[in-house]
A and B are shown apart, each in its own frame.
Chain A
Amino acid sequence: MKSRFWTGIAFCSPLIFGLLAFTVLPVIASFWFSLCNYPILEPPHYVGVANYRDLARDDQFWHSIRNTFVYVLGSVPLGMAVGLGLALLLNQKVPGIKVFRTLFFLPTVVPLVANSVLWIRLLNPQQGLVNSFLRLLHVPESWMPGWLADERWAMPGLILMSLWGAGGGAVLYLAALQDVPSELFEAAELDGAGPTQRFRHVTIPLISPVLLFTGIMGLIGGFQEFARAFVMTQGGPWDSTLFYCLHLFNSAFTEFRLGYASAMAWVLFAIILVATVAVMRASTKHVQYEQ
């Protein structure tokens, strides 16, 4: 029995080693760095909580937090709603449904930089397809969004772009929808429930664990948003898309303040932890797990 235990450990050792060396150790190190002045090229020098104190006084820090919250609050619910809507459509029994499922999932596997260049074009205020569509709807030119060229519209533009990946969530919702027993719908129908009531009182409760899962993953991903802004806007115009992680990156590698950036990383961890716990607690009454 003992020899089987050690054989098992030996087989797991690459993973254990990887976890320790590339996750646990960096996490511990980053906490130590957050208490240090660490300009990367010189050894870290202990300064206590000075980095955390500096954070509180940094206007850019608060600005980036505000931007990131706006993004999370905009992109997560919208992404879930669009994903669920897609899943409902893709759950229909129509010819060629597998092709549609593949098509809607495709944007999820397109590399992010390619997606970003595509969306720079789509969101161009003069020539982009998004505004061309709005012109078809006779939206007045003075109301036309300036998207990435306008500090008031750049964040909504990135939230709109985030919906491009809604197909990833839709696949999960689709799996959950197909798991809902059809007899429950039949019973509800016999009791006189219409489509809206069936959706609200049968579908939503039964797929609620998946909704919770995608919601929490969306929250975590949203707070860590970086690459889109790095490629498309560099945080502009006028810092309107300066996400928390972009500010963290700039602090570390442009300003040589790795200690400060590590403190930012720990604050982000705390924010995500609090947000996740809050969502988990709030969901206990609404999420129904199969008995």
Chain B
Amino acid sequence: MTGRHRKGNASPFSRLALGLILAAATGGCLPQPKPEPHVITVWQPFDASDQAALDHLVREFERTHPGIKVKMSFASNDLTSSQKLFLAIAGGVAPDVTFVDGQQLSEWAARGALADLTDSFGRSGLKPEDFWEPRWKESTFRGHVYAMPWGADPNFAFIWNKDLFRNAGLDPDHPPKTIAELDNCIDKLTIVDRQGNITSLGLNPWEWTGANCLFTWGYAFGGNFYTEPDASHPLGTVTADNPGVVKALDWMARFGRKYDVRKVTAYDAQMVGIGNTPFYAGKSAMRLLHVSQIKDLHRYAPTMDIGIGLIPAPPDGEYPNGWIGGWSLAVPRNRDVRPEAFEFIKWMCTSKEATDIEAVEMEQFPAYAKSPAFARLSKDPVRGVFYQILSHAKHVRTLMPVQGYYMERLGRAIDEVLYGGMLPKEALERTTEDVSNRLQSVADELAQHGTGAHS
């Protein structure tokens, strides 16, 4: 009895041995646990209208990169500031990848907000010439790569309502090319009622408010806002009082005096919302169009007879003219440059799939000059004009680590002239002085702390 008992109840040791043998024998047949995917976090600044396209980008990336998952979420960026990102970086909880606007890069890189991508870029097989030159310039600071350019915004195209041109006795197929011709068109297309209120406006030169309008007209008038760094000025030189910029502001001031800046602002402000601008309502004959607004043309003015061309410029100005902006992708400081994150950046900026989604679904121009999307974009009657601007434009806003302050200060200079009656030259000289002082203090800080970008 006892012997049988022993025979039927194996010792714990033999049970364990049997279990190990069975596990070894069947191990190859059991399903292997899937390796955990690498998860990368990405912060994007776009509004809800781009959400479907962003979701498509993430799906497409995950499909082509099975080992990587992307968690994309929104982080506001008003082109001068991104509180969420700054605080996340300061707190050591920044995402793996973030969008950064081109104009912000120098300042953010100088402040040490971004990781240096020079080595990763060097290993990627990509070259600077693969991107549109102004956008590439906006992705580097002091010879180091801090981002990869994603979009290229050719700012701006000039559009006009042909019906309003006809009604005013103007040839709708011959838009103004010089500032004198533009002034003539504005005079004929602007209607002021007996009370002095504007009922139809030729063009609002400061529709793109603040510094953006001065960048646009300043470059058209042949001006420049900064000079590149050299040995004596390692962070570049502020040139807001450049004669071309002064002439542009003087032209805006004359317009403001003629039509009353307050009446023009009031006229423009009466319509609130993207689709509710005076141009789409047939109440403004000309405007400067951003590439992302092409879709708005089809949505809000589907039957309007519209012409599209280049921004007028004076004979001694620059024609064709324009400046290039756009978003880039970067890795915030406090994060190692993870290979998966850089792979995502590279795919977003240079792959055929991503640049196609960017061009078709988001109506943006890729910064990757070799994108196959340009074969189609360049032939399109509307996008072709933007392509022309992109091909010619050499300018960006500025490449200085005081960009936020420079933008704010230019905006105030415009107000000082338009509302305060200050002479454009004086306002811009003050701006140059203020921004130069701030630039010097940033240079001193960087030299003192040795933080931020490589010095």
* A and B associate: yes
Residue ranges of A at the interface with B (Cβ–Cβ < 8 Å): 37, 39-42, 45, 117, 120-121, 124-128, 141-142, 146-151, 236-239, 250, 253-256
Checking A41, A127, A149 against B262 with a beta-carbon cut-off of 8 angstroms, the contacting residue is A149
Measured between beta carbons, the chain A residues less than 8 angstroms from B197 are 125-126, 141
Residue ranges of B at the interface with A (Cβ–Cβ < 8 Å): 80-81, 83, 86-87, 89-90, 107, 111-113, 195-198, 262-263, 265-267, 269-270, 272, 333, 404-405, 408, 411-412, 415-416, 418-420, 438, 445, 449, 451-452
Chain A minimum-CB-distance residue to B420: A238
The CA-CA distance from A149 to B100 in the complex, in Å, is 32
Chain A to chain B contacts (Cβ below 8 Å), 15 pairs = A39-B445, A125-B263, A125-B266, A126-B198, A126-B266, A127-B270, A141-B197, A149-B266, A149-B269, A238-B415, A253-B83, A254-B80, A254-B408, A256-B107, A256-B111
Checking A120, A147, A237, A254 against B415 with a beta-carbon cut-off of 8 angstroms, the contacting residue is A237
Measured between beta carbons, the chain B residues less than 8 angstroms from A254 are 80-81, 404-405, 408
Contact A41 B80 (CB under 8 A): no
Measured between beta carbons, the chain B residues less than 8 angstroms from A148 are 269
The CA-CA distance from A255 to B262 in the complex, in Å, is 29
Contact A41 B419 (CB under 8 A): no
Checking B112, B265, B418, B438 against A41 with a beta-carbon cut-off of 8 angstroms, the contacting residue is B112
Once A117-B272, A124-B266, A146-B266 are accepted as A-B contacts, the answer to whether A42 and B451 lie under 8 Å apart by CB is yes
Once A141-B196, A148-B269, A253-B86 are accepted as A-B contacts, the answer to whether A41 and B81 lie under 8 Å apart by CB is no
Contact B270 A124 (CB under 8 A): yes
Checking B107, B262, B269 against A124 with a beta-carbon cut-off of 8 angstroms, the contacting residue is B269
Which of A39, A121, A127, A237 counts the most chain B CB atoms within 10 A? Answer: A39
Min distance, Cβ A178 to any Cβ of chain B, angstroms: 41
Measured between beta carbons, the chain B residues less than 8 angstroms from A126 are 197-198, 266-267, 270
Measured between beta carbons, the chain B residues less than 8 angstroms from A117 are 272
Contact A37 B445 (CB under 8 A): yes
The CA-CA distance from A254 to B111 in the complex, in Å, is 12
Measured between beta carbons, the chain B residues less than 8 angstroms from A41 are 86, 89-90, 111-113, 333, 452
Contact B113 A239 (CB under 8 A): no
Chain A minimum-CB-distance residue to B267: A126
Contact A146 B262 (CB under 8 A): yes
Chain A minimum-CB-distance residue to B108: A41
Contact A239 B412 (CB under 8 A): yes
Contact B111 A42 (CB under 8 A): yes
The CA-CA distance from A255 to B90 in the complex, in Å, is 16
Once A151-B419, A238-B420 are accepted as A-B contacts, the answer to whether A141 and B195 lie under 8 Å apart by CB is yes
Contact B112 A149 (CB under 8 A): no
A-B CB proximity, top 10 nearest:
A141-B195, A149-B265, A149-B266, A238-B415, A238-B419, A125-B266, A253-B81, A254-B404, A146-B262, A127-B270
Contact A150 B262 (CB under 8 A): yes
Min distance, Cβ A243 to any Cβ of chain B, angstroms: 15
Min distance, Cβ A130 to any Cβ of chain B, angstroms: 12
Measured between beta carbons, the chain B residues less than 8 angstroms from A45 are 449
Measured between beta carbons, the chain A residues less than 8 angstroms from B90 are 40-41
Min distance, Cβ A283 to any Cβ of chain B, angstroms: 39
The CA-CA distance from A41 to B412 in the complex, in Å, is 27
Contact B405 A255 (CB under 8 A): yes
The CA-CA distance from A126 to B197 in the complex, in Å, is 7
The CA-CA distance from A42 to B451 in the complex, in Å, is 7
Contact B416 A238 (CB under 8 A): yes
